Amino acid sequence: MKIQVLGSSAGGGLPQFNCNCNNCKAYREGSTTVKRRTQSSITISEDGENWVLFNASPDILEQIHNSPFLHPTKLRETKIKAIVFIDGQIDHTTGLLMLREGCPHEVYCTKEVNEELNTSFPLFKMLKHWDGGGTNYHEIVPNNTQFSIPVMPNYEFYAHPLISNAPPYSKYRDKPRAGDNIGVVVVNKKTGKRLFYLPGLGVLEDHIIEEMAKADVLLIEGTLWTNDEMIKGNFSKKLGTEMGHIPLNGENGLIKVLDSLEKPRKILIHINNTNPILDESTKEYKELISHGIEVSYDGMSIEI
């Protein structure tokens, strides 16, 4: 399986248009230790020709432009043959509007996300008005039920419900349902190699830790370093866990659990621009890598 990180940051990207935090400022000033990052998305492929997109970020046009394997080779063509949405958040879905000339798109999501994308953020409804008729919806059942995607015939997909949060515009905000957020396991039927992609994780439940332990590659939540990072920095009044993002550091942080897992390669994704690990000169970055944890970056290639 080929895995390409298209966007490694959380909502806003780095630099974020209205942000002058240490990282955004350092990037604008030409720092060599802070990278530009677009918003959260990966794409995977079995044959290197046909790609399954996980989330459609607001930065998708730039991401496609920077990824020659996604460029059309016929007169009109998209190499993105299926799109999986792990939630209905702006940073994971808005890019679908930018792909409107390529309708219909084969979209895979839970019925909860399908509802959101037809009501509070009605992208699916809007796209019906374009040539090709919008989207073809394939329901994902978020209880470890297997699903398949035709362009990756030798792979099995499984969705796991994650406790995180519903989008700010959802009537389920702060009372999320199973299915508002999922993590997806992709397994090679022949080799058994497993990817577990879970960019939005609010609570470390035992069944998720068990699944993490079985993975060969984890592409996992890296939004915040500390739970009160947004409050302390005067960026927001919310804790990470209130937004559905468990922090990396601390007694109840993700690093501690990652330390207990031997098998997987541990790679962070969906990293907020305020997170000190995004500057490679910080003590937090050095601490992170001393645990054998990697920070993904736009354009990163992984093969399993």
Beta strand 182-188 with 135-139: parallel, antiparallel or unpaired?
unpaired
Quick one: what does residue 19 bind among Mn ion, Zn ion, ligand MLT, none, with the CB cut-off 5 to 8 Å set by partner type?
Zn ion
CB of 258 to Mn ion, least distance (A): 20
Binding positions for ligand MLT, rule: CB under 6 A:
10-11, 89-91, 200, 243-244
Contact 201, 162 (CB under 8 A): yes
* Among ligand MLT, Zn ion, Mn ion, none, residue 243 binds (CB under 5-8 Å by kind): ligand MLT
**In this structure, what DSSP letter does residue 78 have?**
-
The CA–CA distances, whole Å, from 295 to 32, 171, 291 equal: 16, 33, 12
Judged by beta carbon, residue 78 or residue 170, the one nearer ligand MLT is 170
Picked from ligand MLT, Mn ion, Zn ion, none, the partner binding residue 21 (CB below 5 to 8 A depending on kind) is Zn ion
Nearer to ligand MLT (CB atom), residue 205 or residue 242: 242
Q: Could you say which of Zn ion, ligand MLT, Mn ion, none residue 296 binds, taking C-beta under 5 to 8 angstroms by partner kind?
A: none
116 binds, among ligand MLT, Mn ion, Zn ion, none (CB under 5 to 8 A by kind): none
Interaction with Zn ion in 224-283: which residues (CB under 5 A)?
273
Compute the radius of gyration of the chain from its Cα atoms.
18
Nearer to ligand MLT, 228 or 287 (CB): 228
Task: Considering only the C-alpha atoms of the chain, give the largest distance between any 2 of them, rounded to a whole number of Å.
Answer: 55
Footprint (CB under 5 A) of Zn ion, residues 113-172: none
In this complex, which beta carbon is closest to Mn ion, that of residue 8 or of residue 114? Answer: 8
Q: Give the HSE-up count for residue 17: Cα atoms under 13 Å, Cβ half-sphere.
A: 4
| Residue 38 binds Zn ion, judged by CB under 5 A | no
Q: How far apart are CA 282 and CA 68, in angstroms?
A: 33
Q: Which of 91, 116, 211, 298: binder of Mn ion (CB under 5 A)?
A: 91
Q: Taking CB under 5 A as the criterion, which residues in 11-50 touch Mn ion?
A: 11
Instruction: Kindly write down the DSSP assignment for every residue of 188-245, as one continuous string.
Output: ETTT--EEEEES------HHHHHHHHH-SEEEEE-S-SSTTHHHHTTS-S--HHHHT-
294: exposed, middle or buried (Cβ count in 10 Å: 0-12, 13-18, 19+): middle
Written as six digits, the tokens of 157 are 């997909």
- Give the one entry of Zn ion, ligand MLT, Mn ion, none that residue 24 binds, where binding means its C-beta sits below a cut-off of 5 to 8 angstroms depending on kind: Zn ion
Residue among 20 and 281 whose Cβ is closer to ligand MLT:
20
Retrieve residue 116's tokens. Answer: 């959101």
User: Up-side HSE of residue 205: CA atoms within 13 Å toward CB?
Assistant: 14
Measured from the CB atom, is 90 or 97 closer to ligand MLT? 90
Q: 90 contacts which partner out of Zn ion, ligand MLT, Mn ion, none, CB within 5 to 8 A by kind?
A: ligand MLT
User: Contact residues for Mn ion (CB under 5 A)?
Assistant: 10-11, 89, 91
